[in-house]
Amino acid sequence: MEQEEKVLGPIPVTVITGFLGSGKTTLLNRILTENHGMRIAVIENEFGEVGIDDALVLSSEEEIFEMNNGCICCTVRGDLIRILGNLIKRRDKFDRIVIETTGMADPAPVAQTFFVDDELRAACKLDAIITVVDAKHALQHLLEVKEEGVENESVEQIAFADRIVLNKTDIATPQEQADVIKAIKSLNAGATIYPAVNANVDLKELLDIGAFDLQRIMDTDPAFLTDTEHMHDQSVTSVGIEVEGALDIEKLNGWLGMLLGEKGTDIYRSKGILSIADSDERYVFHAVHMLFNGEFTTKWEDAPRVNRMIFIGKNLDRKELTDSFMACMATENSKKKSKVKV
């Protein structure tokens, strides 16, 4: 008997984060019940209450593992490695995986799991991190002052997000919405914000984004370089750099290596589309903490060769980042010609 083998590519994985009561489960239910024809496997936290017959639902108790060198980048989610490894063996049963984290979850180990584990890297592709924010109550969480050394999870969840669903706008006043949007943008200028009631966002805006896909980074960040006012009492912010000209690849590698090595603990996410001297192709990279992935992608052809980068993290020094980036330009000539926008 001959059977036609269907070639199955890497499984797209969407991560939904958000503080308790923000509407993560509502969004998950929307994703599961919308008429999109996709078969979805859900990994939900142990307290989840999703009861969807058509979905393959696996519960997960957060198990964060530090690998033996103690580096923050080697902190991964052991539960996800285990569960995803099992799901890979049932690859033909579903088209997509959605991971719903607990309200207190740190998104970094979730994202890092997909960088660090070779089996998952080959079988899955992290599509995007979506953070659901309660428009009425989020600000109080974001402004909450934590003890020294204790992270504010709601800040981290926004800092790591590719898309933000600003939920419950029906119960928030226009001023409350404006305040929380301002706070979000000060933390993460690159994430697109979707105001919503009952998480009613068009799923095309949330699924198949390719936020970690080097080939698609430049297509998917309309707000890549939106500059914003900063909240004075927040140490987490984003810094964008946009500059024309060509970079010296050796200087760039040296700088990025040193920057992410020394300050990767504070830099949550970074990504860039860069113009490299003597290359016709765009150099695209993204990183989660110190874990870096970059490659040459499409040709510039007639497009202006503009370098664009964004850093999101704690204690970022805009001037220092910009100056050190400028020091990577290929020639003195090109530096002088460059226009810097930050």
Partner 1 sequence: METLEATELEKMPVSPVTMSHAKGDSAVILDADGGLGSWSPSIGYLKIADLDSGGTDLSVNPSGTVAAVAGSDGFVLYDLVNEELITEHRGQWSSSVAWNKDGSIVAVAFGKKVKLYTIDGTCIRTAGDFASTVMDLSWLPDQENIAVASFGGVSIMSTVNDVEPMQKEFVGSLLCLAVSPAADWIVSGNQDCSLQVFKIKDSTRLEMQGFPRKVTDAQFDSSGLWLANNGADEVTVWDFKGKGPKGRAPRILPKHVYGGTALAWHPTKAGVIATGDGAGLVRIWDVAKGVPEKPMPPMKRIKSYSSSEVRFILWDSTGNNLVVCHADGVIYQESIV
227 binds partner 1 (CB under 8 A): no
Neighbours of 258 (CB within 10 A): 11
The SS3 call for residue 1 is: coil
- Phi and psi torsions of 107, nearest 5°: -70, -20
1 binds partner 1 (CB under 8 A): yes
Q: Which CB, 78 or 294, lies closer to partner 1?
A: 78
* Of positions 89, 204, 232, 339, contacts partner 1 by CB under 8 A: 89
Token output for 87? 């799901």
* Of positions 63, 144, 151, 280, contacts partner 1 by CB under 8 A: 63
Kindly state the smallest distance separating residue 271's Cβ from partner 1, in Å. Answer: 27
Query: Is the separation of the CB atoms in 185 and 228 below 8 Å?
Result: yes
Kindly state the smallest distance separating residue 3's Cβ from partner 1, in Å. Answer: 7
Q: Which CB, 84 or 206, lies closer to partner 1?
A: 84
How far is the C-alpha of 149 from the C-alpha of 161, rounded, in Å? Answer: 22
The SS3 call for residue 26 is: helix
Query: Is the separation of the CB atoms in 46 and 61 below 8 Å?
Result: yes
Kindly state the smallest distance separating residue 60's Cβ from partner 1, in Å. Answer: 9
Q: Which CB, 61 or 229, lies closer to partner 1?
A: 61
Kindly state the smallest distance separating residue 63's Cβ from partner 1, in Å. Answer: 5
140 binds partner 1 (CB under 8 A): no
81 binds partner 1 (CB under 8 A): yes
67 binds partner 1 (CB under 8 A): yes
Token output for 224? 């890549």
Closest CA to 98 of 60, 43, 160, 154: 43
Q: Which CB, 85 or 254, lies closer to partner 1?
A: 85
Residues binding partner 1: number (CB under 8 A):
28
Q: What is the DSSP string of 152-175?
A: -HHHHHHHT-SEEEEE-GGGS-HH
Per DSSP (E only), the strands in the chain are: 11-18, 40-45, 56-60, 64-66, 75-77, 96-100, 124-134, 163-167, 192-195, 236-244, 267-275, 281-288, 291-299, 306-314, 340-341
Stretch that binds partner 1, among 78-86, 150-158, 310-318, 326-334 (CB under 8 A): 78-86
- Phi and psi torsions of 319, nearest 5°: -65, -45
Stretch that binds partner 1, among 58-66, 222-230, 287-295, 325-333 (CB under 8 A): 58-66
66 binds partner 1 (CB under 8 A): yes
How far is the C-alpha of 332 from the C-alpha of 338, rounded, in Å? Answer: 10
Give the sign of the dihedral formed by CA 189, CA 195, CA 200, CA 201: negative
Kindly state the smallest distance separating residue 100's Cβ from partner 1, in Å. Answer: 16
Q: Which CB, 3 or 35, lies closer to partner 1?
A: 3
* Of positions 79, 106, 213, 248, contacts partner 1 by CB under 8 A: 79
Q: Which CB, 64 or 231, lies closer to partner 1?
A: 64
By CB under 8 A, name the binding residues for partner 1: 1, 3, 5, 58, 61, 63, 65-68, 70, 74, 76, 78-79, 81-83, 86-87, 89-93, 117-119
